[in-house]
């Protein structure tokens, strides 16, 4: 690769290093991990909602997990400690309202909190990244507005 081609590649955020971990591009410093740990990320590939601490207001533990309750993260498996519901406050067309996530996995210390969009799709709930909103059915039925903060959905 020529220096000119290399400069062009770097412009698009490619440092030329091979990623070694699943979250390589999202997390590079301890402070980045701290930023992610208190955020909610919309994950289009996840079929499970995940919470990383029981300290969240709105968390209700329903029952303990069993030894076979694990979630996949990268190439590894992480033990789920409990299952419950999470009530999130969200901006909606009619003001701030609660959205309730069900069957939420509690995984202590997980890097972030996830809203599993693959799970939402089963209920005909989708995310429009262009307009930053969750909607049900057709795009005209807005459930909540979503804003981006420092590269993460929040």
| Domain contains 23 | no
72 vs 4 pLDDT, higher one = 72
For residue 77, give every residue at least 6 positions away whose Cβ sits within 8 Å of its Cβ, in sequence order, or none: 70, 71
| Domain contains 78 | yes
Residue 53: band (very low, low, confident or very high) from pLDDT cuts 50, 70, 90: very high
Domain count, the chain: 1
Q: What is the CA radius of gyration of the chain?
A: 18
| Domain contains 2 | no
| Domain contains 17 | no
- pLDDT value, residue 19: 41
**SS3 (DSSP) at 46:** coil
For the sheet with 49-51, list strands across it. Answer: 40-43, 113-116, 49-51, 95-106, 82-92, 59-64
| Domain contains 92 | yes
15 vs 95 pLDDT, higher one = 95
Handedness of CA 112, 115, 117, 122 (dihedral sign): positive
The CATH number of whichever domain residue 130 belongs to comes to: 2.40.70
Burial state string for 6-31 with b = 16 or more CB within 10 A and e = fewer than 16 = eeeeeeeeeeeeeeeeeeeeebeeee
Mean pLDDT of 49-54: 94
Which ranges in 12-130 belong to alpha helices (H)? Answer: 30-37, 117-121
| Domain contains 121 | yes
Distance separating the N- and C-terminal Cα atoms of the chain: 38
| Domain contains 10 | no
43: containing domain: 36-149
| Domain contains 101 | yes
């Amino acid at each position: 690769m020529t220096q000119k081609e290399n400069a062009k590649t770097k412009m698009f955020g490619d440092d030329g290093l091979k990623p070694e971990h699943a979250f390589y591009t999202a997390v590079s410093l301890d402070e980045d991990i701290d930023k992610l740990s208190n955020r909610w990320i919309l994950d289009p590939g996840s079929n499970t909602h995940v919470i990383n601490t029981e300290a969240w207001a709105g968390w209700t533990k329903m029952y303990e997990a069993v030894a076979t309750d694990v979630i996949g993260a990268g190439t590894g498996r992480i033990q789920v400690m409990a299952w419950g519901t999470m009530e999130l406050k969200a901006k909606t067309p009619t003001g701030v309202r609660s959205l309730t996530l069900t069957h939420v996995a509690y995984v202590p210390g997980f890097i972030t909190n996830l809203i599993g969009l693959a799970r939402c799709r089963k209920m005909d709930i989708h995310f429009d990244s262009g307009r930053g909103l969750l909607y049900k059915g057709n795009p005209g039925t807005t459930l909540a507005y979503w804003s981006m903060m420092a590269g993460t959905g929040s």
